[in-house]
Structure 1
Amino acid sequence: MTQSYDLVVTNARVVTPDGVTSGGLAVSGERISAILADGEQPAAKETIDAGGRYLLPGGIDPHVHFRTPGLTHKEDWAHGSRAAAAGGVTTVIDMPNTQPPLIEPELAAEKASTVSGDSLVDFRFHMGVTVDSVENLRRLQPRQATSVKVFMTGHHTAPNIIRDPVVLDRIFQVAAERGIRLVLHAEDDSVFSLLDETQAPPTGYDAYESAHPRTGGIVASSRVIELVRKHGTAAHILHVSSSEESDLLKAAAKAGLPVTYEVTAHHLSFSAPDTQRLGARIRLRPAIRCEKDKGRLWDAVMEGSVASLGSDHAPHTVEEKLLAVADAPPGLPGVQELIIALYTGMRRRYPGMSTDEAMRHVARLTAEGPADLFGLGGRKGRIAVGLDADFTLFDPDVTWIMAAKHTYAKVGWSAYEGWTFTGRPDVTVRRGETIWDGRDPEQPRFGTASGIWLDAEPAVPGGFTAQRETSA
């Protein structure tokens, strides 16, 4: 008897860990059942003709702030997950700095219950830690979280800062004992406090970057490396912004330390003069650096030093962004723009690169890397038989101008408004269900909000680094 599938995709360029081939895939239930050869078209309840588009693994954004609970005037899961789906992202990992913060392991199930029924995409959480909650990490189970966010400095929505070196040392020790991966906002608060004693706060965005200099990130990254060396803790540094930090972290990984790092799309897209021009739209922590830093981050991305790309999707309302320079909160919406901005940047910076090669980089940075880091590789992150049928059909050639009307984040604006993008996810499928269909730009369609709270494997210190070196 000829097998019939639930969903078949044909006429695609399929991006797998082994390369890019023409063909398609077949889905039974929620899993990938077969990778199809070019021209193969078995019977199915539903067939999608990809029309030559690239079939990428569904994006995993490991760095979003969907603001639930307590800050849902800025963002919520209904809007945030729509933005994710429209951007080709099928899984997100949410940050803990909400109101109240997610610092009690038992609250993870309560948060998952709140989110369920509102999310188009599957999800996990990073746990938080405060000066008074370090011992909570000993109760943390992989079902609740396999990673813990540490703020070494703070801002408007991140008040729980770890300043005391004794407390920071204890966090690294407990995390190592429990097999927890630390994810860190690695800027040293004492550096900024010292500078604030001798300089007035900036009154304009021309001085914003110099008021929040790279020194904070370099000092903090150095401290993290020494603590990793001492305790063997797996540490992943978020939104690295400078060439010095990138080079330092690359050296630490080369020395065999379980240190990895993330770069954001906005640190690859913008440079310091853009902050003067766009002001609060790209007011960020860490700040946007100079063109030299952006170039070095691109080098690190392309050579494989960067473990993952994250959006740091952190929306604020227009009214909040219009406050005075000292009061406007840092952060921007970015989950929808993540894959698009990465691909557009590659096309512009490396015009001789083939589309196949560019798509392999996209898959590595936005799917494979995050899946390996955060214990999701057993079901997410790759186009392979037996894994979840999470994928996006990406048109690599379409050129379009980003406008506010295209955005799905609750705040309704994008830092990329007016940008000419190349490439766009036209269809996004999560566990076999189409959750975004934008092939008709005038009538885009979303699926059902049936995203689930995922299980994950515990963090393995050095696992990602060792895996990459073995395969190199």
Structure 2
Amino acid sequence: MGELKSDLVITGGRVVTPDGVRAANVVVDDGRITAITDTAPAAESTVDAKGAYVLPGLIDTHVHFRTPGLLHKEDWAHGSRAAVAGGVTTVMDMPNTIPPTLDPETVVAKAELVRGNSLVDFRFHIGADPERPEVLAGLDPEIAVSAKVFMAGHHTAPTVVRDPAALEKIFATAAGSDLQLVLHAEDDSLFELLDQWQGPPVSYAEYEQRRPRSGGIAAVARVLELVRRYGTKAHILHLSSREEADLVCAAKAAGLPVTFEVTGHHLSFTDADTCRGGARTRLSPSIRAQADQDRLWAAVREGEVGSIGSDHAPHTVEEKTRSVADSPPGLPGVQELGTAVWTGMRRRFDEPEDVSAARLAEVLSAKPAELFRLTGKGRIEPGADADFALFDPAETWMLSAHHVYAKCGWSAYEGWTMSGRVRQTIRGGRVVWDAATGTFGEPDGRWLTGRF
């Protein structure tokens, strides 16, 4: 009889495990990790990771892949290519599509559209509809374990919860259903007051001042009061200011079930970049001052963040070059996320490279997997899904438009010198991205909570 062979062995890399970083080989069978070992058993396939970190596949819990209805901006095929080129193997997609995913039926319909077109595994945030909060009651976790609440409106927001009574009803319903609320927490009414007084912003030099931190601070304070009242789990998205970070950290220290996300772009850019670059970094919430960015990086360093997301929200060049009043907020970012965070950490944190690698795995894999109940994801350990990003920390390169796989074809990071690069991405034990050849694998990603 011939020797039994494993499906895959990843050899020669520095493996980032929950117990630390060490030189080891990772053995894979049937799409799962079976061993982390100093030996290299016989295998049908071998991947050489020499010179690279073997990270758990990155998880981006905040993407807008625009399927269905907004396919001129992005589609799932392009979005998932961008994801795996950046080492991301699992995404969670937002509900603001056409039609929006506001009930189980539209979630299932979206999953049917995505199936066979995804290089990544996926899950969906259902949308919280203020007109139908009862949809969240007893929601099957096979459909969704989280619900997105838009407290502020922008170009693609399908339902904005402006009525305090409706917001309270959503919090009460979600608490009874053990749902995680994810919130765009800004107060539209404050922005409307400013526009009525001075008019909407007409230049990017004044954009941040016309969409100020006060909108976020007021909304976060309201969220924290509702969390205190109902015990609802709340995750505040794309938190942008130092005051908001302090409020959420204080609430968490007081025992409230609240966490927050920071984004790659709030860690990478400041309001000075928006003044210079205009629409490319027009975001909602706005990109803020250097002191705010410093506070967000401190939250990464101190382990205060619950997740780091890309808020991958592509728009066409034509849309982004409209007038200041009409240009939509948002930028592509899923492909750049891991490398941008790594680049920032290596420039800001005086720490050994292994410490940065472990931190990257914690904030971009382990924490989001735990927060959103992504079973089998986020950790390199026996029994976990065989999802990996092989990351070369030594490569330095300049990002340009020809590197971009998002359908929109542009990046806010064009011209940046990046530290580190994803060499290969493996999902379910199979290579889905190989940078050396520029090739992708099979688009057979799974709906993680569905019944497919």
TM-score between both structures, scaled by the size of structure 1: 0.94
Preserved CA contact (<8 Å) 2:100 2:158: no
1:359 to 353, 357, 360: 357
Secondary structure at the residue paired with 1:41? coil
- Is 2:138–2:177's contact at 8 Å kept on the other side of the alignment? no
Residue type at the aligned position of 1:379? G
Distance 1:206 1:81 in 2: 34
**What is the alpha-carbon distance in structure 2 between the residues aligned to residue 427 and residue 21 of structure 1?**
19
* Partner AA of 1:305 in structure 2: E
2:422 is aligned to 425
Query: Superposition pairs for residues 432-451 of structure 1, below 5 Å?
Result: 432-438=429-435, 440=436, 443-451=437-445
Superposition deviation, residue 159 in structure 1: 4.1
Deviations along 1:15-54, whole A, 9 cap, x unmatched?
01111000120000110010022xx111000011111210
Give the Cα separation in 1 of the matches to 2:158 and 2:385: 37
Gaps of 5+ in 2: none
User: What is the distance in 2 between the residues matched to 1:93 and 1:406?
Assistant: 23
One-letter code of the match for 1:360? A
Distance 2:132 2:36 in 1: 47
3-state SS in 1 of match to 2:55: strand
Q: Deviations over 1:377-417 (max 9, x none)?
A: x3101001001000010000100000000000000000000
Query: Is 1:190 the equivalent of 2:199?
Result: no
Find the aligned partners of 1:100 and 1:277 in 2 and give their Cα distance.
36
- The answer to whether the 8 Å contact 2:149/2:184 transfers is yes
SS in 2 for 1:106: helix
Q: Give the conservation status (yes or no) of the 8 Å contact 1:69–1:99.
A: yes
Find the counterpart in structure 2 of residue 311 from structure 1. 310
Contact 2:240 2:266 in 1 (8 A): yes
- For 2:122, the equivalent position in structure 1 comes to 123
User: Aligned partners of 1:188, 1:202: CA distance in 2, in Å?
Assistant: 17
Q: Supply the AA of the counterpart residue of 2:57.
A: G
The aligned residue for residue 23 of structure 1 is 24
Residues matched between the structures, number: 449
SS at match of 2:419: strand
Q: 2:397 aligns with which of 381, 389, 400?
A: 400
Q: Could you say which residue in structure 1 is the equivalent of 2:284?
A: 285
Q: C-alpha separation between the residues in 1 aligned to 2:47 and 2:140?
A: 40
> What does residue range 275-354 of structure 1 map to in structure 2 within 5 Å?
275-350=274-349, 352-354=350-352
How far apart in 1 are the matches of 2:138 and 2:278?
43
Deviations 1:101-128 (Å, cap 9, x if unpaired)?
1001122111111100110000000000
Offset, 1:132: 1.1
For 1:138, give the aligned amino acid. Answer: A
1:454 partnered with 2:448: yes
1:308 partner letter: S
Match of 1:382 in 2: 379
Residue 193 of structure 1 deviates from its aligned partner by 1.7
**Matching residue of 2:34:** 33
Is residue 149–residue 184 contact of structure 1 (8 Å, CA) maintained in 2? yes
Question: Where do 1:6-405 residues align within 5 Å?
Answer: 6-37=7-38, 40-350=39-349, 352-376=350-374, 378-405=375-402
Instruction: Judge conservation of contact 1:105–1:139 (CA < 8 Å) in 2.
Output: no
Aligned residues: CA RMSD = 1.0
The C-alpha deviation readout for 1:159-211, integer Å capped at 9, x for no partner, is 41100000000000000000000000000112112222211111110000000
Q: State the AA in 2 paired with 1:47.
A: T
Answer with 48-57 or 236-245: which moved more: 48-57
Greater Cα offset, 390-399 or 158-167 = 158-167
Q: Give a deviation string over 1:243-301, Cα, whole Å, max 9, x none.
A: 00001000000000000000001000000100011100000000000000000100011
After superposition, give the CA deviation of every residue in 1:294-338 in whole Å (9 maximum; x if it has no partner): 001000111011010000000000000010000000000000000
Q: Is the 8 A contact 2:268 2:340 kept in 1?
A: yes
Q: Note the residue ranges of structure 1 that are not aligned, 5 or more in a row.
A: 457-472
Question: Could you tell me how far apart the structure 2 residues matched to 1:242 and 1:133 are?
Answer: 32
Counterpart of 1:11, as a letter, is: G
Q: Which runs of 4+ in 1 moved over 6 A?
A: none
- Asked if the contact 2:369/2:378 (under 8 Å) is kept, the reply is yes
Moved more, 413-422 or 123-132: 123-132
Distance 1:383 1:335 in 2: 21
Check whether the contact 2:8–2:46 (CA below 8 A) recurs between aligned residues. Answer: yes
SS in 1 for 2:78: helix
- Percent identical among aligned pairs is 59
Return the alpha-carbon distance in structure 2 between the equivalents of residues 145 and 41 of structure 1. Answer: 39
How far apart are the structure 1 equivalents of 2:358 and 2:231? 31
| Letter matched to residue 442 of structure 2 | T
The offset of 1:3, in angstroms, is: 4.4
> What SS does the aligned partner of 1:12 have?
strand
Distance in 2 of aligned mates of 1:26 and 1:367? 20
User: CA–CA distance in 2 between the matches of 1:3 and 1:31?
Assistant: 17
Q: Distance in 2 between matches of 1:167 and 1:160?
A: 12
